[in-house]
Each structure stands twice: as structure tokens, then as C-alpha cells.
Amino acid sequence: MKRLLVILVGISLYGKPYHETYRVNRHVKEKLDAHSGLLAKKLKQVHQGTQKHGVWQFDWLQGYYIKYGLARIEGMEKMQKVIDRCNLSSITVADKRVYRIKGTDIKGTDRKPSNRNCAIVIKRVKAENNLAPVTLDEVQQLCTIMHETGYISMTGPLAKKGPNYIRTKDGSFCLIDTESRYDHTNLLKGFIRLLQSHDYTRDLSEEALKHILWEVEQLLKEKPEEIRYTIRALKICLKEQSGVPTWDYKSYIKNFCKQLKENQ
Ligand SMILES: Nc1ncnc2c1ncn2[C@@H]1O[C@H](COP(=O)(O)OP(=O)(O)OP(=O)(O)O)[C@@H](O)[C@H]1O
Ligand SMILES: [Mg+2]
């Protein structure tokens, strides 16, 4: 009997829809309910492809972001599992909640939870801008989560479309975009993006930058055909640096590229 109970509880927890597991609080729900028509319209536009960007902020829900895509919740769970299993003490995932559009669970043809009737709700993560550059241990944690999950969009402050992590007051890296691509076969691109979206004076310590380059080097051993693309990307990275260097990363990267060419 006890065993049966455990199995039944297990099944019901497993089958619980996201909007119940990650419920928004009552105060937020009231505001969302009052604008459920607008939200349904916005979700539909993204779903049908008439609007590309599914990230919104509204005056009537200050301090929050509302986003399209239940994949963000799958991504959040995936990241959290790795953080726990690998003890990644410097990484957190933004607390994402799911709002079910008012009325869709009781009537209509659209009853099954979906991207059209569920919106993702996230508190704004406050960025701390005066932190020391990323250390070796911290960058290793970022690289671990990339290797473990295949996440290739770990972009930082220089990212043109906005960063996918935010550094908070206690120095931790809060992952805010868990929907982007997961692709173990394309990790090289992920590390290049990491290099492209950071300032080498302000954001990365010398050890951190050298570590990312080391990751790149390891991956290129398996994919020498990507060496030319990598060298081109690194040259662009150097051109885009505007800070006053605290160490000679220019010579280091030029030498790194030279070695890559020689090993080709
Ligand atoms: N919870 C949050 N706290 C603070 N800023 C956020 C939060 N969520 C999103 N942002 C801001 O909005 C930007 C876009 O959000 P996000 O990365 O989740 O969307 P996206 O799906 O990647 O969209 P895009 O196609 O623009 O990258 C972020 O780079 C960040 O500047
Ligand atoms: Mg993003």
C-alpha cells in the first residue's frame, strides 16, 4: 500500500503542469488577470511569427519581465540540475514563474498548457556594475555549465542583444536567458561568443581570458577545420576592445592565433 502511494504521488508530481509547479503569486496574478487579453494577443503574435521578439515590460507590472516560451522553464530546470550536481556556487538561475492566461484552463479549445496560453514571468534581476573582473574559478563554473548542458549563448555585457547573464550584488552570475540554443556539437561557437561579449579589461581577469582561450584550443583539436573561422573571430574581438589594457592580451592573442595556424 505504501509503495502504491509513493508511485501515485510520483506520477502526480511528474505530471504537474508548469503553471502549477511555478505559480505566480496572488498579487502578480491579479495584475496579469486584468491584462490577460493583451497578453494572449502578444503570445499569439509571437506564436504565429508576426512578432519576433517575445520579451516585454509593462507599466502595470513594474519590476518584472514577461516572456514567451515554455522552453525557458525547461532550460531553467536543466541549468538548476547542473548547478546542484556540480556545486556551481557562483551561478544562479532567475526565478521564472508561469502565468496561465485567465480562463484558458476551463473553457475553449486551447485547454492544454502551451506557449499560446502560458506566459513566463520573471522579476527584474538587479545588476551590480562595480564588481572585480571574472576570476578563474568563476569562468570555470561558466564553462562547466556550458559543457554539461551544451548551452552556447553565455553572453556577457558587450552582447548587442543584451547579456544572457546578469552579475548581482553578491557577485554571482544569474542566468536570465535559458531558452537559447543548447548544442553540444557547437560549443566552439559558445566559447567564441563568450570572448566576443566581454571587455578584456573590465570584465575578465587575465586568468579567465586565458582559460576561455584554452577551451577554444581544446575544441579545435577535434575540429581543425574551424581554425580559420576562429582566428578571424579573435581578430574582430581584439578590434572591438576599447578599455585600457592591464596586461598585454593583444600579444597573447596574436601569439595564440600564430600557434593555431602553425598547428593547422
Ligand atoms: N529578469 C531580467 N532581469 C533583468 N534584465 C532582464 C531580465 N530578463 C531580460 N532582461 C533584459 O532583456 C534582454 C533580453 O532578454 P532575454 O535574453 O531573456 O531574451 P531573449 O529571448 O534572448 O531575447 P533576445 O532575442 O533579445 O536575446 C536581456 O539581455 C536583458 O538585458
Ligand atoms: Mg538573450
User: How is the chain split into domains, by residue range?
Assistant: 11-72+95-123, 136-262
Q: Which has the higher per-residue pLDDT, 263 or 11?
A: 263
Between CA 264 and CA 245 the distance in angstroms is: 29
Closest CA to 115 of 43, 173, 164: 43
Quick check: 14 pLDDT over 70? Answer: no
Q: What is the pLDDT of residue 198?
A: 97
Q: What integer is the mean pLDDT of 106-112?
A: 71
pLDDT of residue 107: 65
Confidence of residue 103 (pLDDT cuts 50, 70, 90): confident
What distance lies between CA 262 and its chain's CA centroid?
35
Probe residue for ligand 1, chosen from 72, 177, 181, 193 as the CB with the greatest number of ligand atoms within 8 Å: 177
Please name the amino acid found at residue 83. Answer: I
Q: Minimum mean pLDDT among 13-17, 37-41, 173-177: which range? A: 13-17
Q: What are phi and psi of 47, to 5 degrees?
A: -60, -40
Confidence of residue 191 (pLDDT cuts 50, 70, 90): very high
d(CA 155, CA 164) in angstroms, rounded, equals 5
* Mean of pLDDT values over 195-205: 96
**pLDDT averaged over the chain?**
93
Ligand nearest to the CA of 94: 1
Instruction: Please state the pTM of the whole predicted model.
Output: 0.91
| Closest to 179 (Cα-Cα) out of 255, 68, 44 | 68
In the structure, ligand 2 is a single-atom ion and the residues with CB under 5 Å from it are 164, 177
Which pLDDT does position 180 carry in this prediction? 87
Q: What is the mean pLDDT of residues 174-191?
A: 95
pLDDT tier, 105 (very low <50, low <70, confident <90, very high otherwise): confident
Checking if the pLDDT of 12 tops 80, the result is: no
Q: Whose Cα sits closest to atom 30 in ligand 1?
A: 162
| Band of pLDDT at residue 8, cut at 50, 70 and 90 | very low
Q: Specify the residue for cell string 578571424.
A: 232
Tell me, using a 6 A CB cutoff, whether residue 93 lines ligand 1: no
Q: Ligand 1 mean position to 136 CA, how many Å? A: 26
Pocket test for ligand 1, best of 28, 43, 51, 55 (most atoms within 8 A of CB): 55
